[in-house]
Amino acid sequence: MLDPQLVLRLRHHFAACAQVVDPHRSHARGSLSRQARHPFRVRVKVCGFTRREDVDRACHLGVDALGFNFYPPSPRHVSHAKANELLLGVTPPVISIGLLVRPIQSSVEELVRKVPGLRCLQLHGLAAPPEWKVPRPWIAAFAPVGAADLLAIDEFIRASRHIPTPPISVLIDGHAPGLEGGTGKTAPWNLLEGYDPGLPWILAGGLTPDNISQALAILRPWAVDIASGVEDAPGIKSAAKMRELLQRMDQPPVD
């Protein structure tokens, strides 16, 4: 059963999902420090971790959420066992999110059962809202191309109001034919100016330290999701790029 208080806190920001945060935990310090300095800033999720050292570095730098990809065709795919290794010691306020593509009820329940450290799910490729109970707060992910796709997302959200566990957020990714579960392609910023789906929304797709200030000058997402933009190779995160991205986000966007 979903914790209503957890859902409420996740709606406001990733870092507030825990009722009690231990400031002495090594993985909590970075996020607490950034949150104290910038309490109303755009949240940061880095997705596609495959190495323990990258998880540790991201937590220390102050990333709000870590994404783990369970879509087998992805070069960032991790097994359930590997994800459990990567999640050891990851404590609130850092949030761990599991990514699935075209999930069915059994695959979602299996993931949550085998990787209990996941506190949120990110579901791609859903044609309609799931009629079954999703066992974690979840993010609905889309890759729109045109205005008609945004209208379809609006309809998805409206329909979600009548299901047992509506999504807490919407993620907008870039579209690339044949690619799912994170494309690395830039989302259609021109379509997203003034975008308000009625839920907190996350901007993904082709974000890097070089374009993050421009993206935030044009758009006003609740959070951003970065994978390839802070990597040296698929699944291999760059500490320098993560640090640079966070530093640029802590500055006012360039108008």
Does residue 254 belong to any structural domain of this protein? no
Does residue 82 belong to any structural domain of this protein? yes
Instruction: Give the residue with greater pLDDT, 53 vs 15.
Output: 53
Note the maximum CA span of the chain. 48
How confident is residue 250, by pLDDT bands cut at 50, 70 and 90? Answer: confident
Q: Tens digits of per-residue pLDDT, 208-219? A: 999 999 999 999
Strands 138-142 and 120-124: parallel
Whether residue 21 has pLDDT greater than 80:
no
Whether residue 201 has pLDDT greater than 60:
yes
Single pTM value for the model:
0.84
> Into how many domains does the chain fold?
1
* Residue 46: CATH number of its domain: 3.20.20.70
Does residue 194 belong to any structural domain of this protein? yes
Q: Tens digits of per-residue pLDDT, 29-45? A: 454 455 544 556 899 99
169 residue type, one letter? S
Does residue 70 belong to any structural domain of this protein? yes
**Cross-strand pairs, 66:** 46, 96
Q: Tens digits of per-residue pLDDT, 58-105? A: 999 999 999 999 999 999 999 999 999 999 999 889 999 999 999 999
CA distance 239 to 26: 17
Does residue 255 belong to any structural domain of this protein? no
Q: In which domain, by residue range, is 125 found? A: 4-249
Percent of the chain exceeding pLDDT 70 equals 79
52 with 236: CB under 8 angstroms? no
Q: Tens digits of per-residue pLDDT, 137-173? A: 999 999 999 999 999 999 999 999 999 999 999 999 9
